[in-house]
Amino acid sequence: MIWQIELIILVMVVLFGIGALTTKDLLSAAILFGAYSFMLCLLWAIMGAVDVAFTEASVGAGISTVLFVSAVYRTTRSTDN
Amino acid sequence: MHEVLPFIISKINYFIYIILMMLGMYGIFMKKNYMKKIIGLNILQTSIILFFISIGAKNNATLPILELQNDHDANVAIQAVNYINPLPHVLMLTAIVVAVATLGVALAMVIKIYKDYKTIEEDKILFQTAEDTIENE
Amino acid sequence: MKITGLILLFSLGGLLFYGAIDFPSWGDPNSPASSHLSPYYIEHTMEDTSVPNVVTSILADYRGYDTMFETIVIFTAGIACIFLLRTFKSSIPESRMYRHIPTGITLRIEKGGKVPDHSDHFERIDSVWIPYDLVIRTTCRMVIPFIQVFAFYVIAHGHYSPGGGFQGGVILGASFVLFALGFNLRLAIRQMSEKITVFMCALGVFIYAGTGILCMVFKSNFLDYSALASLFATDPITARSYGILIVEIGVGIAVMGVMILLYYNLASGGKHKEGL
C-alpha cells in the first residue's frame, strides 16, 4: 500500500461527505454524494477489495445517484439547512 | 514525534472511520431536511463498511482470487498469508446492495411525505401536525 | 436539543477514538479478524468448490444461506416501494399532450377529448417536453447493448474474476435505467412492463430457494450443491461450481428487477406515466 495516495483519498472522502451534508442545494448534495461513493470505490480498489469496489462503483456511484436525483425531481430542490 | 507519525499512519483508517461515523450521526441528529438525514444514514453505513474492509487488509498480500495452478506446480499449497482476508468483503458486498434497496424505500417515504405535507423539512411538518391537532380539538 | 446532540456526538467520538488505539495496526497478518476462519476458506476453496475467486465461493456456497436472505431483503424492499408509492387511479382529470411531428405544433387534449390515432404524424409527449436530442439518443442506442453484454459477462465470469450476481444484476438494471433516461419513461415501461419486472424479482428469489430445495430432493442438506452431481453428470466438486453459477443467475435476475422497479416508482412518483 502506498499510504500517501490512500491518505489523499481518505481526506477527499471526508471533504465530499462534509460537502454533501452542508450544501443548501439538494441536487448538488446528490451529485456530491455520488462523488463521495466514487472516492470510496477508489479506496477499496487500493485496499484490495476488488469485488466491493466493483459493487460500489455500480451501486453507489451509479444507481443510488440516479435514485437521489429522481427523488429530488419529485420533491423540492432547495432547503434551509 | 518519530513514534507518533508511524502510529497514526498505521491506524489512519480507523480514525477516518470514526470521523465519518460522527459525520453521519451529525447529519441524522442535526439536519432538519429528510433528504439530508438519508445522506447522513448512508455516510454512517459506509463508515461501517470502511471499518470492516480495514480489518481485513493484509500487508504483502494480493487479491483474494487464487492463481490457477499449472500441472508442474500442482503440489504447491495455497498459503493463506498471501491473500487478503475475503470474509469482510463478502459481508460488505451484500450490505452495499441491501443499502441501495433500503435507500429506495427511504426515498419513497420522502416522496410520500412530500405529497401529503408539501415540504420535507422536519420542523415545518411538526408545526403542521400541531396545528391540525389544535383544529380538531 | 442541539447542544445535547453535539455533546453526545463528541463524547461518543472520543470513546471510539480511545478504543481505536488498541486496534491491530493496518495490514497486520496476525490480526484476530484474519486468523481464525478465513484461512480455512482461502486454503480449501479450490479443493471444495474449484472456484478461484474466494469471494464468490464464500458468498454463494459457504455462506449461501445468508445470501439467500439478503436477496429476500432486496425483494422485500422492491415490493415495499410499490406499496408505498404506487397509485393506480389519478384523482385529477388527466390531460394528454400530443405533438404533430411535421409542423411541430403541440396539442393539449383535455379529458374526454378525441385522442389522435397511433400514427407517424402524432407522438405523445410529457407535460415537460424535452426536445429530441440526436446525440443522447444515438449514444444510448449504441451503448446499451454493450452494457448488457458486459453485465452477462460479469454474471457468468464471477468465478474467475471480480463480479457475480449482485454486480451483474445492478449493471443490467442500470442499462434499462439509461434507456428510460435517454428516451422516456413511457417507452421504457412499454419495453419492460411492471408485471414482467415484478415477476423477475420473484423469479430470482425462486431460483435461489428452488436450488436449495432441489438439493433436499436429492437427499442432502439445504443449498448443498454437491448433491446435484448426478443431475449435472459431473463429480461433486464441479457440481458445487455449477450450483454457484445457478444461484448467481438467480441473484442477478432478482437484483435487476428490483433496481428497475425502484427507478420506475421513484422517477414517476408512483404513477408510471411521466418520468425524469
Q: What is the mean pLDDT of residues B52-67?
A: 86
Local structure of residue A75 (DSSP, 8 states): S
Is the domain covering B4-59+83-136 a CATH 1.10.357.10 domain?
A: no
Find the CB nearest A67 among C55, C162, C266: C266
Please, what's the largest Cα pairwise distance for chain A?
Answer: 43
Query: Taking Cα atoms as reference points, which of C142, C135, C169 lies closest to residue C248?
Result: C169
Q: List the single residue in B with minimal CA-CA distance to C58.
A: B90
Tell whether the model's pLDDT for residue B77 goes beyond 80.
Answer: no
Domains of chain B by residue range: 4-59+83-136
Distance from CA of B106 to the nearest CA of C (A): 9
Tell whether the model's pLDDT for residue B71 goes beyond 60.
Answer: no
Spatial CB neighbours of C147, under 8 Å, sequence gap ≥ 6: C171, C174, C175, C178
Helix B87-117 with B34-56: angle, nearest 10 deg: 180
pLDDT tens digits along A29-48:
999 999 999 999 999 998 88
Are C276 and A50 a contacting pair at CB < 8 A?
no
Distance from CA of A4 to the nearest CA of C (A): 14
- Calpha distance B88→A39 (Å, rounded): 19
Question: Cell match 412518483: residue?
Answer: C269
Query: Taking Cα atoms as reference points, which of B79, B81, B78 lies closest to residue B58?
Result: B81
pLDDT tens digits along C74-119:
999 999 999 999 888 765 656 777 888 778 788 787 776 777 776 7
ipTM: 0.92
Find the CB nearest A18 among B23, B63, B120: B23
Q: What is the mean pLDDT of residues A73-80?
A: 87
A10 domain-assigned: no
Query: Which pLDDT score is estimated for C90?
Result: 64
Q: List the single residue in A with minimal CA-CA distance to B65.
A: A50
- Calpha distance A11→A39 (Å, rounded): 10
Contact assessment for residue A20 and residue A33, using Cβ atoms and an 8 Å cutoff: yes
CB < 8 Å from C in window 32-51 of B: none
Question: Hey, what's the cell of C39?
Answer: 484461512
- Calpha distance C250→B121 (Å, rounded): 40
A13 domain-assigned: no
Query: Which pLDDT score is estimated for C34?
Result: 82
Tally of structural domains, chain A: 1
Local structure of residue B64 (DSSP, 8 states): S
Question: Letter for the amino acid at B77?
Answer: A
Distance from CA of C263 to the nearest CA of A (A): 6
A57 domain-assigned: yes
Find the CB nearest A10 among B12, B42, B92: B12
Are A74 and C267 a contacting pair at CB < 8 A?
yes
Query: Which pLDDT score is estimated for C187?
Result: 86
Residues in chain B: 137
pLDDT tens digits along C131-181:
778 899 999 999 999 999 999 999 999 888 888 889 999 999 999 999 998
Contact assessment for residue C222 and residue C65, using Cβ atoms and an 8 Å cutoff: yes
Query: Which pLDDT score is estimated for B62?
Result: 85
Find the CB nearest B57 among A26, A29, A47: A47
Find the CB nearest A66 among C162, C171, C177: C177
Query: Which pLDDT score is estimated for B76?
Result: 64
Tell whether the model's pLDDT for residue B74 goes beyond 60.
Answer: no
Whether B56 has its CB under 8 Å from any CB of chain C: the answer is yes
Tell whether the model's pLDDT for residue B37 goes beyond 60.
Answer: yes
Whether B85 has its CB under 8 Å from any CB of chain A: the answer is no
More confident residue, A13 or C275: A13
Question: Letter for the amino acid at B18?
Answer: I
Q: Which of B97, B118, B123, B126 to mutate to test the interface with C (most CBs of C within 10 A)?
A: B97
Number of CB pairs, chain A paired with chain C, less than 8 A apart: 50
- Calpha distance A36→A40 (Å, rounded): 6
Question: Letter for the amino acid at C149?
Answer: V
Distance from CA of C54 to the nearest CA of B (A): 6
DSSP letters for chain C:
-HHHHHHHHHHHHHHHHHHHTTSPPTT-TTSGGGTSSHHHHHHHHHHHH--SBHHHHIIIIITHHHHHHHHHHHHHHHHHHHHHH--SS-SSPP-EEEEETTTTEEEEE-TTSPPPPSSSSEEEE-SSPPPP-HHHHHHHHHHHHHHHHHHHHHHHTTTTSS--HHHHHHHHHHHHHHHHHHS-HHHHHHHS-HHHHHHHHHHHHHHHHHHHHHHHHTTS-TT-GGGGHHHHTS-HHHHHHHHHHHHHHHHHHHHHHHHHHHHHHHHHTTSSSS--
Confidence of residue B45 (pLDDT cuts 50, 70, 90): very high
Q: What is the mean pLDDT of residues C19-48?
A: 85
Which residues of A fall below an 8 Å CB-CB distance to C? 1, 50-51, 53-55, 58-59, 62-63, 66-67, 69-71, 73-74
pLDDT tens digits along B87-136:
999 999 989 999 999 999 999 999 999 999 999 898 999 999 998 888 88
Question: Hey, what's the cell of C51?
Answer: 472456484
Confidence of residue B75 (pLDDT cuts 50, 70, 90): low
Query: Which pLDDT score is estimated for B44?
Result: 94
Q: What is the mean pLDDT of residues C35-48?
A: 87
Whether A66 has its CB under 8 Å from any CB of chain B: the answer is no
A71 domain-assigned: yes
Find the CB nearest B93 among A13, A40, A55: A55
Helix B34-56 with B4-30: angle, nearest 10 deg: 150
Domains of chain C by residue range: 32-92+133-268, 93-129
Contact assessment for residue B83 and residue C42, using Cβ atoms and an 8 Å cutoff: yes
Quote the mean pLDDT of chain B: 87
pLDDT tens digits along C215-268:
999 988 888 888 888 888 888 889 999 999 999 999 999 999 999 999 999 998
Range of the domain at A29: 25-75
Backbone angles phi, psi at B33, to 5 degrees: -85, 135
A8 domain-assigned: no
Spatial CB neighbours of C119, under 8 Å, sequence gap ≥ 6: none
Whether B21 has its CB under 8 Å from any CB of chain C: the answer is yes
Backbone angles phi, psi at C124, to 5 degrees: -80, 135
Confidence of residue C205 (pLDDT cuts 50, 70, 90): very high
